[in-house]
Structure 1
Amino acid sequence: MFRVSRKTALKAAIVTGASVVASVSICLLLVPMLGGHPDGPGFWMSVFCPLVIAGPATTWQFHQTEVIGRQRDEIARMHVELEDMHAELRLLHEDLRIRARRDALTGGLNRGALFSALEEIAPSYEGPAALLIADADHFKKINDGFGHLVGDEALRSIAAAISNAVDDNDLWGRIGGEEFLVFLHATTRTRAAAIADGIRRAVVEADLVVDGRKVPLSVSIGVASVNGVFDPVDLFRQADDYLYRAKSGGRDCIVFDGLEVGRQPA
């Protein structure tokens, strides 16, 4: 048994009543024309037949139409919900994609994202560029003397110095531990040297104080320049070699294409 709504019952009753009226009207008009008398069983059959045929048939038809309408509305509502879920899922995927490329501590790109970007750029690159590798000096002493939370703040200070120094078209991020990489697009040697020294100076001047003591913070930077197509691994090795020279030369300085520049006065 199916449950009939009041609306369906009313519509079925109206149609059934109209059917009865039509059937009786035909009986009253047609039977006399054929020479008969519209009374007795024939008359009552004109009333009874629409009731037993039209009543159930129209009730079922209107009920099915109502059910289909409700189902259509439910499907439409589910489609809207599904679109909302797809939109939310797209946002989650985008957020995960961004998170997968970012270093959680500093907000810069992570190692994988940086090298992936360099590998994509390198084969068709045109013009001058520079790769910087910056490494925090005596970072173990900061962790040992002030604690790892302060060490994290020191890394964030270095990241802020780099982020403030570069343009939106440049790439930068943390490639591991206390080491950062910066790729300067379409940059002259003069600009690259100025940015590297700006980063170095900003790190030294960072206002990182714990319990009234200023945390000594500085970076050594290796810079390798290139003009045109380059091999990311070779360029990285060059910059890393220059970083090693900067560390060996006393730290808090820059070695640019093998030449030391920009040492902070003692």
Structure 2
Amino acid sequence: MSLTEIQIKNVENVLRNALRNKFQTYKPETSSMPFHVRLLGKDRLALYSFIHSLSTNFGTSIFEPVAVTLAKGRFKNVKSHTSVGDYISTQSQNEIQRIIDNLITASSSPNKIKEIEAIRKVCKSGDMVRVKPTLVDLFLEDKNGVFYLFDLKTAKPNIGNFKEFKRTLLEWAAVILASNPDSYVNTLIAIPYNPYEPAPYNRWTMRGMLDLSTELKVAGEFWDFLGGEGTYKELLECFERVGIELRSEVDSYFASFNK
């Protein structure tokens, strides 16, 4: 068993609270759909709309707090939705642009270790300029002082955005190194589940921009990294238990739309 009883309790509380809070704040779409209503019923349409609405903020309302709960058992410093800093060197900015240009033109292949070392060499060179980097969804520091910064994405991220994803990861590293050039920093994309299961996740779309061995964790890779081997399976069981527990509340809530 990877998760402690306290972790399981905390995860399940996150799920209960997220769902019940959504019930209190949810406002169904007001557009009239007379054919759909007569064919399927108001309750089913409300459920469909609710699921879509819940999915749009699943990351911040469920995945992020669950990730924090799991990571606190293994990492000494855990934060979510946080800033990594305010300054970056102009030479780091130039190096990041050079890396991205080379990847776009296929002049080089992604190699995160080499990219980080190239940025480290210039992290204090040139002027230090104030920036406002994208907030880190999940910031971790292990007992050895190694940093892991995660950007949580939807299960099927837009291919056209991979260039900006890569820039964000490199900028996070440059900002960390600007204040601590000797730090060991990892910046990664996390995708909480694999929509293609039981087939492997379709990683080829990211291959030209991301170093798949060091910049991407999908489904069990991510959750087991946070909580230990077997965490992903136990996490799914937590979701299932809470779903069964709250089923009558869910049914009652949506039945009210038929009144």
TM-score, length-scaled by structure 2: 0.21
Higher relative contact order (CA 8 A, sep 6+): 2
Greater gyration radius = 1
TM-score, length-scaled by structure 1: 0.20
In terms of fraction of residues, the more helix-rich structure is 1
